[in-house]
Amino acid sequence: MPLYRMAMGSPGEAGHPDALKAALAEFFSMIIFVFAGQGSGMAFSKLKDNGTSPSTGVIAASLAHAFGLIVAVSVGANISGGHVNPAVTFGAFVGGHITFLRAILYWIGQLLGSVVACFLLHFATGGMEVSAFALSGGVTSWNALVFEIVMTFGLVYTVYALAVDPKKGNLGTIAPIAIGFIVGANILAGGPFDGASMNPAVSFGPAVVSWTWTHHWVYWLGPFIGAALAAIIYDHIFITDDYSHQPLPTDY
């Protein structure tokens, strides 16, 4: 089982230049992604007075998140693996493809990147509100939890199939595009219900800037459960003996 492969990592890894560069890459990738995705929502709010329909706003958010994520994953892929999501990092850890210490560095970079992006948006838009993720009317926290679990499962399953699986071959070249598309598709499906986060960092930045924490736990627990399920199922059933750890620096 993948759970047997989880590794804590050595203390020296936390301060190794390659690990710190990887965390920094996640920081900048997250800024790129959140600035585009969250910014699209703020732009739609600006256009509401001009009669733009809600369906148009969901489509715009879907496209902005998809395109932004394709770029964010691509620019970080050669340095950190282009996780751009604490849930993806958690899934990689559960499958034994990243150590826990490196995962913590990634999480710090991802969360800080999201917060910085939201503050930049707040400033650049002249003080517009950066809205936190929220549930739509009639949607309970448990409904939203299921949405986040299923959507994040699909996302991390895609990551495993096209970026982690050693049998991926040339399919690895389209991984950023496929990852962006699955996020965009999930936003079309779940956006009207709970915002379709699939990414704790994407939810964390707006929550910090707006200081709104209602139902915030849903956007952590759901993605982490979905990511863990995808990692365990794909790694155990489809990778099996082909597994190998992510190469980590050893010269420390």
Domains and CATH numbers, the chain: 2-242 (1.20.1080.10)
Tell me what the mean pLDDT of segment 136-158 comes to: 96
The H or E element spanning position 198 is none
**Per-residue pLDDT for 248 more than 50?**
no
Q: Summarize pLDDT for 59-112 with one digit per residue, the tens.
A: 888 999 999 999 999 999 999 999 999 999 999 999 999 999 999 999 999 999
Distance (Å, whole) CA 220 – CA 237: 26
* Residue 70: DSSP 8-state: H
Residue 246 identity (one-letter amino acid): Q
Output the pLDDT for position 241.
Answer: 58
* Gyration radius of the chain over CA positions: 18
